[in-house]
Structure 1
Amino acid sequence: MGVIANITAEINSQRFQFIRIEALVLIGIVVLFLLLVLGWYRRQCSHEAVKIIVWGAYTVSYTLVSYTMGLMQSYHVGSSLFAVWAVCLMLILGNVDSLSAYSLHDNDNWKRIYIQQLVQSFWVGGLVDAYGESDFSIPLWILFIISMYTTSTLTRSFQSASKSYNLPRCTKWVADYMRYEHELENTVVPNPIHMHGYRYIVTGEHVETICQPPDYLFRFKPDETKLITVEQIWKCNAKLLHHQYRESSRLKDICLSMALSKMLKRRFAGFDLAESKLQKTHDFVFKGLLDSDNTYERAFRVIEVELGFVHDFFYTKYHVLFASHDERSSAIISPVLSLPFCLWLAYMLFQRFRAPQDEITVGRSSTRNDALVTMIIVLGIALLQLLQLYFYIASDWFKVYLISKYVTMPRWQSNEKIQKIIAFIVSWKSFRHWENKVGQYSLLHTFSCTRRKWNALCRRTAGLVEETRKGRAKKAIENLPNELKQAVINSLVRSSGRLTNGATSLRANRAEQFLWACTGLPTVTHTILIWHIATTLCDEALGARVGLGDRLPNECGDGREMRSHASVASTLSKYCAYLVAFEPKLLPDHSYDSTVIFDSLVDEASVLLAGDVSMQQRYRTLMSLDAGPEDKRLIMIGAQLGRQLMELVTDPALRWKILSEFWAEMMLYITPSSEATAHLETLTRGGEFITHLWTLLTHAGILDREDSYGTP
C-alpha cells in the first residue's frame, strides 16, 4: 500500500503534472512538424503509410493543442514557459502552409475549424497575459500577433476552396470571362504556337465587377482592370522571356499552367466550359502543346505544374498568400519579422539555462533543463520560419508573380541588376508535383489474395481501418515509362480528339477479327477486364513480366521495338485493371457497377482456377478450356480472346503492336469524366496518370465521349 501511495503522490505532484504538460507540448510540436513535412511529400507519394500518418497527425493536431492549452490553464502553479509553449504551438499550427486541408470535406467545415482557432487564440492570449514574464512579454506578444495572422490565413484558405461558400464566387469571374474571351480583338487569328489570340488569364482577375444585362455576366472594363494574359507573356521580348534565354520557355509555361489551372477550377465548381466547342481550343492542344516541333514532355510538364496549382488552391494556403499585394507582403514580412524575436526569446531562455537552479525564475516546477528544451523548440521554430520563407519564394506561385510584374514593368526589363535577381530567384527549386508513377494490378496473379489479418483489424477498430476486398492486392507501382506517354500521345494525335474504345487501332492494324471484344459489351469495365485477361495470357506466353528485359524473343521483327510495345501494353493493361479495382470513380461506369463486376470476376477466377497455385498452372488451365458461345463469364471471354490473339496473330511483334495501340486508345477513351471531384482527390495521394490525361483532354475541349465513336 505504501508503494501505491508513493506512486499516487508522485503522479499528483506539481513536477509530474509539469512534465506531463511538457511532454504533450513536445508531442504536439512533433505532430505539427510531421504535417509540415508530409504536407509537401504526400502529393508525390501514394504509400499507404504516408496517408495514414498525415491523416492521424491532421486529425489529432487541433484536439491535442486545445487539450494541452487547457491543462496549462488549469495548472495551479504558473510558469512563464507555458506562455512560450502556447505561442510556439500557435505559430507552428499557423505556419503549416503546405497542408491546410486534409480533404475537400475540411474546406466545407471551415466554420468548425474557425471556432477552434478562436478558442485557441483566446487561450494563448490568456496564457501570455497571465504567465508572460516581463522579460519575455515583448517577443511573446509580437509572436502571438504574428501567429494570429498566420492562423487567419488558414481560415481564408478554407473559405476560398469551400464549394458551399466562396469557390463558386471566385471561379465565376473566370467562367464568365471565358464566355466572351474569343470575342476580344476578334481580328486576331489564333496561333497556338505563339499564343496569339489566347487571352487566358494569368493574374489580375480579382476585381470588383457587376452583372449587366442582357446576359448578366461579370465583365471587366479594359481601362480599370490590369489583366495579365498568356498572350501578353508570349509577346514580351524582354531578356528573361526572349527565346534566346535558356529558361524562357519554362517560365512562360509556368505562367501558362497558372492560367490553365484557373480554367480547370471551373470543373470543380460546376461551371460550364464555354470555350470547349471552339476550334482554337482544340488547336491549343493539338497544334500547340502537341505541336510536331515539341515532344510529349512539354505537354505533361505543363499539366503537371497546372495540377500543382490546383492542389495548392484546394489543400494549402498558397492561393491566399498570393491573393493580393498585402497578402504577398505579409507572407514575406511575417517570417522575417518573427525570426529576430524567436532568436531574442531563445537568448533569454539560454540565460535561464545558465542560471543556477535556485535562481530559475520561469516557474517553481521548472528546471534548467526545461528552459534548455524550450530554447531548442524556439530555435526550431526560427528554422521553420526560414524554411517557410524559402518554400514561399521557391514556389511556382512566386515565379508567376515575378514574371507577371516583369511583363508590366518596363523599368525592370531595362534594369540588368533586377533581371539578374529575378533570374536567380526563379532558379530556386521546390518539390515535385506528383509521383510520376502508375499503379499496377494483375487479376490472374492476385485474385486469390485475402488479407484476413488486415480485415480482422478493420472489424476490431469498427471500420477505422479500411477493409480490403477479396482479390485486391496492389503490385508495386511502376515508374511511368516515357514510351508509354509517347504511345498515348501518338494515339491522341492520330485520333484528333475522336475517342474510340480500341476499334480504330484494330482496324488500322487489320485486326478486325477482334472487334467483337470491343463492341456489344454492356460496360467499359467489361472491355477493360476482358482485354486485361487476354494481355496477361499473352504476357505469360512470352515469359514476360513487368520488366520484360531480354526474355522477349528477338527473332521476329525489331526486338527493341517489340519490347517497347510489350512494355506499354503490359503496363497500361495492369494500370487500367488497377483503376477498376482501386479507383473505379475515375472510370466512365458507375463506380459501384465496376466494383460488382470486378468482385464477380474474382469469384469466377477463384472457382475456375481453384487449386492452381502458380501462374503457369493458371495459364495452362485457361488455355485448355474451350467454352461454348453460351458461356458469358468474363474470365472465359478473356481467355478466349487471349487464345485468339496467339492463334490468329502468330508474329509476336505484330501482336504486341496491336495490344499496345489498343491500350493507348482505350486509355484515352476511358479518360473523359464528369467526376471532377474524384480526380481532385487523387492529387493528395501521389496523383494519377489518368488525371493528367483528363486535364489535357479538358483543355482540348474533349469533355465526354460520343458513344457512336466506339462502334465499328
Structure 2
Amino acid sequence: MASLLQLFNDWEIQLLVLLSFVLQIFLFFTGSLRQRGAKFLSGIIWIAYLVADLVAVYALGLLSKQDDNAIALTKNHPLAFFWPPFLLIHLGGQDTITAFSLEDNRLWLRHLLNLIVQVVLALYVFSKYIAGRNAQLLVPGIFMFVAGIIKYGERTMALMYGNLQNISGYNNSEESKLNQHQELDQDASFSSIVCFSLDSAPIIRHLFAGFTLFQIPQGFCAATWTSYARSGEVQLSKLVKLVDVELGIMYCDVYTKAAMLRTRSGIILRCTSQVSALVALVLFIVGDKERYNRADVAITYMLFMGSFLLEVLAMFMMVMVSPWTWAWLKARKCVWLTRVSWTLVSNNIVGWPEEKPLWSNRIGQYNFLSYVGCEENPRSPSMSERVMGMSRKMAKAVGAGEDRLFWLSKVLDAKYEEVDKDITESFVKEIRVILQSPFGGQKRQWQHLSRFLRSMARELSDNFSAVIIRLNISTIIHLSEVSSVDAEIAALVGVCRKLSNYMMYLLVTHPVMLQVTASSAKSVLQGFRKKFMMMAGSISISNSKHGVVLQNLKEFLSKEDSALSLPEPCKETLEEMRDMWVRIIMYAASRSRPETHATQLARGGEFLTFIWLLMAHKNLGASAAFPIDLISPPTTFGPHIDVRFYAFDFR
C-alpha cells in the first residue's frame, strides 16, 4: 500500500495533466449535444465542466508547492514545469461549450480576474523552475505562454459577448455587411431562410435581452423585421423552420465562442495562438530531449498534438461549417467557395441540415395522475416504470414527506415527446386566425366550451397554477371518454393530451417561465393532491383500476367547482379544447421573461421559447410591445399596433 501511495505521489502531476486533457476532449465532443437537449448527458457535462477547471487549477497549485515533493519532482520530472501553459489552454475551455449556464456569462469579470491570477501563477512556476535549470525550454515555453494566455483570454471574451446585456448593445460592423434583407416568398428555399435568420440575428439578441420590437434601434434592421411581421400568411409555412434556425444561432452566440470567432480581433487572436503553438512545437522537436523522462516527453507530445487536433476540429465546426462563413462568402460573390461552404453547412453530420432541428424539439410531459401515483394510459409497465413504482413505495415506507414525494414524482414521472407537425400547425393556424381578425372584427366563438371556459377565466389571472391543474384534470377526464378510433380524432386527442401535459410539466419543473414561484406552484399542487386523496379515502390509487381512479377524479373536480362541466366528446369539442390549450400556452409565452428563455437554451430550449419567438415574428406577445390578455377586452396600445387579441369572448 505504501509503495502504491509513493507511486501515485511520484506521478501525480502527470495524472492530473492527462485528466485535464481527457476532460477537455470530453467537453469538446459533448458540448454541442446540449443544443439539441441531451438530457441523459446534462449532469455528466456539468460535472466535467466544473471539474475541468478544478483539475487545471489544482495542477498549477501543485507545481508551485515548496516542499520535498516539489524538489523530487524538479529532479525526476523537470519537463513537468513546461506544462503550465498547456494548463492555461485547458482553462481556456473548448469552442463548443464556453458557458454552461447564463450565469457564467454574467460573471465574465470574475473569469477575467481568474485569468489574471492563473496567468501570474503559471508564469511564477515556469520562471522559477525552467528559466534557471532548463534554459532550452525557455523560448518554446514563452511561445506556449502566448498561446495559453490568448486561449484563456478568448474564453473571457466569449463570456463577455455571451452576456445578454452586452449582446443587446453589441453591433458588429462585419455582420451588418452580411445582411441580405431577404423576404420569404411562397417558394422560399432553406438557404433564404438561413439568410433571413442571419439578417435578423441582432434583433433576436435584443428580444432575448428584454427589448421590445419598438425599442430596438433602427440600425439593427428592425424595419425589415416589422415588414416581415406584418406580411401575409404566405410566410407562415416557413416560419417554423425560421424560428428553429434563429434558436440555433442564439444558442451558439450565448453558450459557445461563435460570436467571438466572428470578430476580426477574435480571428487575429486565434491565428496568433496557433502560430505560437506551432513555433513552440518545432522548437521542442529540435531540442535535446534525452535528459527527460520518456513518459514526460510522450505526455508533452500528446498535449501538443491533442491541442492542435482540437483546434483544427473546432475551426472546422465553428468557422468552416458556420452559416456566417457561408453568408460572408456569398456577400463577396465568391461563387465556388460559397457552394463549397453551403455543402458543408447543409450536410447531415456536423452541419445545419433542413430536416434536422437545431433545438431539442421536445415537449415535456407531466400530469396530475402521475403525481397521485397512477398512469394516464394504463398498459403493461416497462422496467423503468416498475423501478419508479418501487421507488415511490420505498419513499412512502420510510415516511417521506410531501416535499420529497413531490421531488421524486418530478424526477421519475416527467417524460418527453417529440414536437410533431400536428402541434406546430396548431399554433401556426391559431396565429393566422388572430392575424385575420383585427380589432373590431369577428370575435372567437367557443360554441361547445363557452360555459366551461367562463368559469375558468374568472380566476385565470388570480391563480394561474390552479387553473392549469383543473384544466389538466378536465382534459384527462374528457379524453378518457373519447371512444372513436378515427385517425383524425386520434390525432386531436394526442395533441390535446400533449399540450395539457406540457403546461403541467412547466408548472412542476419550470414555474418561473409561467411567472409563478416554485413554492406557490408546489403548494397548490400538493393542496389538490391532499384533497383528492382525502376524497378517495382508503383506496390505493396505484393499485386501483384506471376507470375507478377516473371516476374519483371526476367526482373530485365536480366538488371543486360544480360549474365545470364538459360537453359530450366530439370532433368539434376536441378542436376547441386543442385551441384552448394553444391559446393558454400563447398566453403563458406572452407573460414569460426573456431571460428565462435564454436560460433554457442551455438545456436544448423549451417549446414555450419556440412559441414566444414564433409570436414575436407576427407582432404578438410582450416582445412585440403589447400583452396578450385572455380576460379583459382589447384596449388601444398605440397607432403602430394593428393586431388585437384576447382568447375568450363570451358575449
Q: TM-score scaled to structure 1, two decimals?
A: 0.72
Counterparts of 2:396 and 2:87, CA distance in 1: 37
Q: What whole-Å deviation, never above 9, does each CA across 1:438-491 have from its counterpart, x for those lacking one?
A: 11002113324876989999x9xxxxxx99536434332111111111112111
1:490: which partner in 2? 429
Return the match for 1:439 from 347, 355, 364.
Answer: 364
CA–CA distance in structure 1, aligned partners of residues 406 and 542 of structure 2: 23
Partner of 1:687: 605
Do the aligned residues in 1 keep the contact of 2:98 with 2:155 (CA within 8 Å)?
yes
Query: Per-residue deviation at 1:64?
Result: 2.1
Matched-pair contact (CA < 8 Å) for 1:261–1:307: no
SS in 1 for 2:407: coil
Task: Give the Cα–Cα distance (whole angstroms) in 2 for the partners of residues 303 and 268 of structure 1.
Answer: 13
Q: What aligned pairs does 1:306-317 form with structure 2 within 5 A after superposition?
A: 306-317=246-257
Distance 1:467 1:684 in 2: 27
Distance 2:559 2:82 in 1: 69
Which one is further off, 95-104 or 607-616? 607-616
| Shift, 1:422, TM fit | 4.2
| Aligned match for 1:37, one of 26, 29, 34 | 29
The structural deviation recorded for 1:287 is: 3.0
CA contact (8 A) 1:102 1:315 kept: yes
Q: Which moved more, 1:89-98 or 1:124-133?
A: 124-133
Q: CA 1:153–1:405 in structure 2 vs 1: closer, same or farther (change >3 Å)? A: same
Matched, 1:512 2:470: no
Q: Against the structure 1 CA distance between its residues 456 and 68, is the aligned structure 2 distance closer, same or farther, given a 3 Å change threshold?
A: farther
% identical equivalent positions = 19
Correspondence for 1:229: 179
Q: 1:117 aligns with which of 90, 115, 118?
A: 115
Equivalent positions of 1:60-79 (< 5 A) are 60-74=51-65, 75-76=70-71, 77-78=73-74, 79=77
- Going from structure 1 to structure 2, the CA distance change for 1:499 and 1:520 (only over 3 Å counts) comes to farther
Per-residue CA distance 1:138-185 (angstroms, 9 max, x = gap): 44432321121121121222333446xxx25x52477xxxxxxxxxxx
Q: Cα gap change, 1:17/1:281 in structure 2, threshold over 3 Å: closer, same or farther?
A: closer
2: CA distance, partners of 1:389 / 1:562: 50
Distance 1:282 1:113 in 2: 38
Q: How does 1:261-276 map to 2 (within 5 A)?
A: 261-274=201-214
Aligned to 1:381: 307
Q: Distance in 2 between matches of 1:665 and 1:687?
A: 20
Q: After superposition, what is the alpha-carbon deviation per residue over 1:548-577, rounded to whole angstroms, capped at 9, x for unaligned?
A: xxxx633xxxx2211211111111111111
Question: Residue 28 of structure 1 is aligned with which of 6, 9, 20?
Answer: 20
Contact 2:20 2:90 in 1 (8 A): no
Q: 1:650 to 1:94 in 2, by over 3 A?
A: closer
Q: Secondary structure at the match of 2:364?
A: strand
Counterpart secondary structure, 2:291: coil
- Give the partner amino acid of 2:91: L
**Could you tell me which amino acid in structure 1 is paired with residue 601 of structure 2?**
L
- 1:234-245 matched pairs, under 5 angstroms: none
Aligned to 2:636: none
Residues 240-287 of structure 1 show CA distances to partners (whole Å, capped at 9, x for unaligned) of xx999xxx83333223223433223324444443169x9986662463
Q: 1:476 aligns with which of 402, 408, 415?
A: 415
- Relative distance call for 1:120 and 1:470 in structure 2 (3 A) is closer
Distance 2:558 2:511 in 1: 19
Q: CA deviation at 1:661?
A: 2.5
Q: Normalized against structure 2, the TM-score is what?
A: 0.78
Amino acid at match of 1:437: R
Aligned to 1:191: none
Q: Does the 8 Å CA contact 1:532/1:573 hold for their aligned counterparts?
A: yes
| In structure 1, C-alpha distance between the alignment counterparts of 2:492 and 2:282, rounded to whole Å | 60
Q: Which amino acid aligns with 2:130?
A: Y
Q: For the Cα contact (< 8 Å) 1:533–1:639, is it kept in 2?
A: no
Give secondary structure in 1 for the equivalent of 2:417.
Answer: strand
- What is the CA–CA distance in structure 1 between the aligned matches of 2:337 and 2:174, rounded to whole Å? 26
Residue 567 of structure 1 is matched in structure 2 by 494
2:33, 2:454 → 1: CA distance? 45
Amino acid across the alignment from 2:231: K
Tell me by how many angstroms 1:372 deviates: 3.1
* Cα deviation, residue 23, structure 1: 1.6
Q: d(CA) in 2 for partners of 1:70 and 1:83?
A: 12
- The partner residue of 1:301 within 241, 246, 250 is 241
For residues 438 and 183 of structure 2, the distance between their equivalents in structure 1, rounded to whole angstroms, comes to 31
Question: Deviations for 1:569-615, whole angstroms, at most 9, x for unmatched residues?
Answer: 11111111101111111114455443332232232233334533348
Q: Is the 8 A contact 2:426 2:582 kept in 1?
A: yes
In structure 1, the residue matched to 2:541 is: 613
Alignment partner of 2:457: what SS? coil
CA change 1:591–1:575 in 2 (3 A) is same
Q: Is 2:596 aligned against 1:661?
A: no
Q: Work out the CA distance in 2 between the residues paired with 1:585 and 1:51.
A: 20
Give the distance between the partners of 1:456 and 1:127, measured in 2 at CA: 57
Corresponding letter in the other structure for 1:441: Y
User: 2: CA distance between counterparts of 1:492 and 1:204?
Assistant: 35
The 10-residue stretch of structure 1 (683-692 or 92-101) with the greater mean CA deviation from structure 2: 92-101
Q: 1:246-265 residue pairs with structure 2 within 5 A? A: 249-265=189-205
Per-residue deviation, 1:84: 4.2
Contact 1:283 1:700 in 2 (8 A): no
Matched with 2:50 is 59
Amino acid at match of 1:649: E
Contact persistence 1:523–1:589 (CA under 8 A)? no
Aligned to 1:157: 158
Q: Residues 252 and 705 of structure 1: is their aligned pair in 2 closer, same or farther, counting only changes over 3 Å?
A: same
**Count of matched residue positions in the alignment of Structure 1 and Structure 2:** 584
Q: Superposed, which structure 2 residues align to 1:191-590 within 5 Å?
A: 204=173, 227-231=177-181, 249-274=189-214, 284-285=228-229, 287=231, 291-292=233-234, 295=237, 298-323=238-263, 325-331=264-270, 334-335=273-274, 338=277, 342=281, 360-362=290-292, 366=293, 368-396=294-322, 399-404=323-328, 406-407=330-331, 409=332, 412=333, 416-427=335-346, 429-430=350-351, 433-448=358-373, 469=407, 471-472=409-410, 473-496=412-435, 507-521=445-459, 522-542=462-482, 553-554=484-485, 559-590=486-517
Secondary structure of the corresponding residue to residue 602 of structure 2 = helix
> In 2 relative to 1, CA 342–602 (structure 1 residues): closer, same or farther, beyond 3 Å?
farther
Question: What's the offset of the Cα at 1:680?
Answer: 1.1
2:643 aligned partner: none
Q: Deviations over 1:620-671 (max 9, x none)?
A: 24426786xxxxx768448984xx43xx3253x3443332222223222221
Shift in Å at residue 31 of structure 1? 2.6
Alpha carbons 1:172, 1:271 under 8 Å: kept: no
Is 1:517–1:527's contact at 8 Å kept on the other side of the alignment? no
Q: Indicate whether 1:598 and 2:531 are aligned.
A: no
Deviation string 1:323-382 (CA, Å, 9 cap, x unpaired) is 3x232344356447646755875x679x96xxxxxxx512xxx4x344334433433222
Structure 1 stretches of 5 or more lacking a match? 1-6, 175-202, 207-225, 236-241, 353-359, 460-465, 543-551, 628-632
Matched-pair contact (CA < 8 Å) for 1:533–1:638? no
CA RMSD of aligned residues (A): 4.0
Structure 2, gaps ≥5 residues long: 217-221, 374-388, 633-645
